[in-house]
Amino acid sequence: MAKGNVVSFTERKAEIQAGVEFLDLLDRDVKDNPETIQPIPRGLLQRIHTIRNQADENRRRELQEG
C-alpha cells in the first residue's frame, strides 16, 4: 500500500489534541471575556455557508476524479 494511503494514528491523535486545546482556549476566553461575544452578521454567515458548500463540492469532485 502506498504511504499516502496509510493513516498515521500519531498524527491523527495530535490533530485531535490540538482541537481539544483550541476548544479549551476558546472556553476560557469566553468565560474570562463574555463582553466580547457578538453576533455574526447574516451576510458573513451566508458567505461561510457558501464557501463550505463549495469546498464540499470540490472534495466530492476530486474523489470522483481520483
Report the domain count for the chain: 1
pLDDT digits (tens, 9 = 90+) for 19-53: 999 999 999 999 999 999 999 999 999 999 999 99
pLDDT digits (tens, 9 = 90+) for 45-60: 999 999 999 999 999 9
pLDDT score at 8: 80
| 42 vs 36: CA distance, rounded Å | 18
Task: Say whether pTM exceeds 0.85.
Answer: no
Residue 49: which domain range? 3-65
| 27 vs 24: CA distance, rounded Å | 5
Considering only residues 12 and 65, tell me which one the structure prediction assigns the higher pLDDT.
12
